[in-house]
Structure 1
Amino acid sequence: MNWNQLLSEQRIVPCDVHRRPAAAFLLSEGRRETADLRTEFEKDYHRIVGSASFRRLQDKTQVFALDKSDFIRTRLTHSLEVSSFAKSLGQNISQHLLQTKKDRSFTIRNKEDICNILQCAGFIHDIGNPPFGHFGEEAIRDWFVRKLPEMKYQGKAVCEFLAPVMFQDLCHFEGNAQALRQVSKLYFLENEYGMNLTLGVLSAVIKYPVSSLKICPDGSDVKKKKMGYFYAEENLYRDIARATGTNGERNPLAYILEAADDIAYLTADIEDAFKKSFVSYDELVRELDCDYEENLRSGMDVASMLRQQYEHAKKGQVPNTQLYAVQNWIAGLQSALIFGVTDSFLLHYEEIMAGEFRKDLFQGTTAEWVVEALRRIAHKYAFSSRQILQNEVSAWTILNFLLDRFVPAALYYDTEVPMNMMEKKLMNLVSENYKQTYHTYSKGKSLAEKLYLRLLLITDFVSGMTDSYAKDLYQKLNGIS
């Protein structure tokens, strides 16, 4: 792989060169040029920030569903943090490549483009996630695994009509795959190509370049942990891979994006759990002390870092000493993890560029144990808490109810088979944008493909909901005011 191809400015459909720009001026020699001096990736940035799907992230769960506290992170604030970390990592790695001349073909323009692409990719990496956090994904997958084999269509099992990849897409529903679908098709503004982002940005956000038939969650190859695209977007994925030269391997920027995501959520989960009193300062210190040998061996004595922040706050008579210590400790931890990721990427640079690196950027580094410790603490004190469990049961009830109603209603939508009154009313509640996308991409398709696309129409609708909208719709359909 090479950077000039990876940082592709191509779009799914080129801009209309015959349409006169809204802002233009004549140069002295008579040529007409656009006054828009933004790069293609900077244009992507503004397309994303101005989109409704990006704004909806402000009312989607990161960890704590339906939480009204101002300081608890949402998908939007999480995405902003991931974008910031990703750009910082891009700057660090690019600057090292330039200074050390590790890759003599690498240019200053490459550095600028990498930072802009990673900033955009951070914004959209979770844009396809359903309401209620990662549990929302699990609830949707669980529903299709349980209910799809039982469903009938024209007197036969629905599964008899669907190709294996279609069936597996639904049973392995994935927010990463939905993100590609969201930005390439579902933001129906001027045409059927969604935001029509550059292929360089789209490639960077595909962390798992495999279909639902090739995933291997328990394997050692990180690119196969989940699926990266639905069958409906397979041709799009192939176009992206061909244009950027990834050809079935991860884009190197996907490793950086994944690491930025890990840094953001691992540290944020601890901070949010502390602020909600799920874990105390003393419990944090005790948990970190459990890894005393790793502290010493790695050179990252994070337990001592936390104690030092606490002592500093006490000496300075800072109000809320423990909160100050935890927040400043997390800031220092983030810097250390950024350094570790930068070092790892450069160490494995040749493998990554050759498409031969199979791990995440933390594996085998001094920061690996810190990442595992943070995961363990978050799971023990936050994810297993009574509040989280109650919220997950509520989310499961809401999503199962919605899928129970809307999936059967969609089976005979846009077919010659008459729909009953309630099915018609339910389908009238589905967003016109999503239905327009279905009609656009179902033209000329086989019966099986149309059925598959109608099922995706409902996952589009449900996954596009905010937490509040899903809860409100559930209550209204149940006659609860």
Structure 2
Amino acid sequence: MNWEKLLCEKRQTRSKYPSKKDLRNEFQKDYHRIICSASFRRLQDKTQVFPLDKSDFVRTRLTHSLEVSSFAKSLGQTSFQYLIDKNIDSELTTEIKDNVCSILECAGLLHDIGNPPFGHFGEDSIRNWFEANLTKIEFDGTTLDRYLDEQMKSDLLRFEGNAQALRLLTKLHYLVDENGMHLTYALLNTLIKYPISSCEIDKHSGNIKTKKMGYYLAEKELFEDITSSTGAAGCRYPLTYLLEAADDIAYLTADIEDAVKKGFLSYDQLLEELRSEKYISKCADEDERKNYTNMIDWLETKYQNAKAKKIANPELNAVQNWVISIQGNLLYCASYGFTRNYRSIMEGTFTKDVLSVSRGNALSKALGGIAYEYVFRSKPILKMEISAGNIINFLLDNFIPAAIHYDTEVKLSPMEDRLMCMISENYRQIYTIYSEGKSDKEKLYLRLLLVTDFVCGMTDSYAKRLYQELSGIE
């Protein structure tokens, strides 16, 4: 791969009226389109970890995305300046570095744009619903699991927010036409974290690119056009590694801070867990162990400083200050992992994430493990997830059967007709455009995606309110 091709400015269509007075580069134009979009604004009502939470402290998808955007841009600046200073790649210039930073800044804003309401549990709920119902729902005299092609079924059974993001950005954002936001291919390829179809997923391959899917069958041709245009066909786009690291650092540190703030985790519990051998033993060598123990020392120092200043809540103050410190530490580690493996990344042969090959690996594993034990498996979160699951199930229970015979010769019942009218007119128009000339099987597949498009576009509050209204609670 080379940067002349990787920084592809191609869009699905070009503007008919380009402005000669517009001094922005193509990637800066992407930033403006994102910030001004309704899809981006809706992230303010999609929570990051605590579904249906009323606190104004914890991260929403919007604030998380802003953090990821900042971290990603910082990683681009640090990593590419190092590559330039050390002359590791003679092709690199300051202009390329600036373009890389612009792309990463935009990608951070968009990396969660396709996620449904209620966090990752929303994704699980959609997958679980199709797992339970594809064998029950019939069309044309047979059940959907027999009627649909293998990848069509797999797209539904392995539903993925990353693939939904590509669909949203290139089709569903129907403001000007059916080509979405008209973003550059370089940006879109950065967002395709897993350059494989749902049928190629292999979580045990040892290669991170096969962990999940990156596109639906409905976007296959577009996916192939994007990856071939950037020269990244068959492998991960290089900037994806930095975007992924920024996301990991943001949520790993934020989950700990939010957990302490909300009382799920105390300062003493955090310190005890960090000192546990189950996490220290994950250090691969002396350098990693030294970095890990230094981080523990930092936490204790922050606490002592807060006590000395007679701060009212020294435990929380210590954790919040510590989180800022470890963010800096992990950003350095991620940059090191990227630059050290730059050659294999550019060759498309690197198979891991950049944090895992740095001395920040053990710390990141510890943060993730602690958050899982004290937050994600806590009773309050489990109760809220059950509530969220019930909402998703209710919506799919009602809208999927209504969509089965939509746009067919079969007459919908009055209730089914009303339900289909509830779906965004823009989404229904996109279905009409892209289903034209397709077979009955392809149209059915697109109608099923129409419903998941509708659900994924909902905010937490809207999904909850619609559930209450349609079930007669309000």
Normalising by structure 2, report the TM-score. 0.97
Candidates 50, 59, 62, aligned match of 1:76: 62
What does 1:83-122 align with in structure 2 at a 5 Å threshold?
83-122=69-108
What does 1:28-107 align with in structure 2 at a 5 Å threshold?
34-107=20-93
- Residue aligning to 1:24: none
CA distance in 1, matches of 2:68, 2:220: 27
- Residue aligning to 2:225: 239
Pair 1:370-2:370 in alignment: no
Give the counterpart letter for 1:150 in structure 2.
K
- Residue aligning to 2:438: 445
Between the aligned residues of both structures, percent identity stands at 54
Cα shift at 1:148: 1.0
SS in 1 for 2:354: coil
- Residue aligning to 1:26: none
CA distance in 2, matches of 1:271, 1:169: 35
- Residue aligning to 2:305: 312
Pair 1:399-2:392 in alignment: yes
Give the counterpart letter for 1:232 in structure 2.
A
Candidates 134, 137, 157, aligned match of 2:120: 134
Give the counterpart letter for 2:238 in structure 1.
P
CA distance in 2, matches of 1:432, 1:446: 23
Cα shift at 1:157: 1.5
Candidates 183, 186, 199, aligned match of 2:172: 186
Pair 1:220-2:199 in alignment: no
- Residue aligning to 2:132: 146
CA distance in 2, matches of 1:83, 1:107: 22
Candidates 318, 321, 339, aligned match of 1:325: 318
Cα shift at 1:219: 2.6
CA distance in 2, matches of 1:61, 1:321: 27
CA distance in 2, matches of 1:345, 1:20: 37
Candidates 177, 188, 192, aligned match of 1:202: 188
- Residue aligning to 1:412: 405
Give the counterpart letter for 2:3 in structure 1.
W
Give the counterpart letter for 1:479 in structure 2.
G
Cα shift at 1:218: 2.9
- Residue aligning to 1:25: none
Give the counterpart letter for 1:158 in structure 2.
L
- Residue aligning to 1:390: 383
CA distance in 2, matches of 1:94, 1:473: 47
CA distance in 2, matches of 1:218, 1:403: 31
- Residue aligning to 1:28: none
- Residue aligning to 1:421: 414
Cα shift at 1:440: 0.7
CA deviations over 1:116-145 (Å, ceiling 9, x no partner) = 000110111100000000000000000001
CA deviations over 1:149-197 (Å, ceiling 9, x no partner) = 2110122222333110001000000000000001100000111000010
Pair 1:348-2:341 in alignment: yes
CA deviations over 1:326-377 (Å, ceiling 9, x no partner) = 0111111000100101111111110000000001112232111111100110
Q: Let me know the Cα RMSD of the aligned residues.
A: 1.1
CA deviations over 1:25-71 (Å, ceiling 9, x no partner) = xxxxxxxxx21111111110010111111000000121001111111
CA distance in 1, matches of 2:73, 2:18: 34
CA distance in 2, matches of 1:265, 1:218: 24
Pair 1:10-2:6 in alignment: no
Equivalent residues, number: 467
- Residue aligning to 1:229: 215
Cα shift at 1:293: 5.9
CA distance in 1, matches of 2:389, 2:192: 27
Give the counterpart letter for 2:37 in structure 1.
S
- Residue aligning to 2:250: 264
Unaligned residue ranges in structure 2 (runs of 5+) = none
Taking structure 1 as reference, are residues 314 and 20 closer, same or farther at Cα in structure 2, changes over 3 Å only? Answer: closer
- Residue aligning to 1:174: 160
Normalising by structure 1, report the TM-score. 0.96
